[in-house]
Structure 1
Amino acid sequence: MRFAIGRDYKGIFSVIGYCLAVPLAFYYEWLAQMIYLAIALLWVIPDSRIEKNIAKNPV
């Protein structure tokens, strides 16, 4: 599957963001919530690499 998707920047950003947001939530709740929101909005945007691969190989 990696050959079809390539580098997974969304996944890497999500893991790093969550790792930062969890401890920040104890001190700066609003900042942690902004990180959670940014990650959620990031995943709303469709990934064009996946869309292209689905168009080439329909189920």
Structure 2
Amino acid sequence: MPQLNPNPWLFIMILSWLTFSLIIQPKLLSFTPTNTPSEKASMNNTKTLSWPWPWT
């Protein structure tokens, strides 16, 4: 069964994963995001408002 022969495809898969892991991924992770989350002061408002359901 030729589809189970890993001879050419295993090398291609390993080479592509190594290329991604060692070359492409560090370059992508080095970019800084343009929309960084800002630190907001936490509001200690623990009271929640109930929803006015029309059928109650």
Which TM bucket (shorter chain)? 0.3 to 0.5
Higher relative contact order (CA 8 A, sep 6+): 1
| TM-score after normalising by structure 2 | 0.37
| TM-score after normalising by structure 1 | 0.35
More helix by share: 1
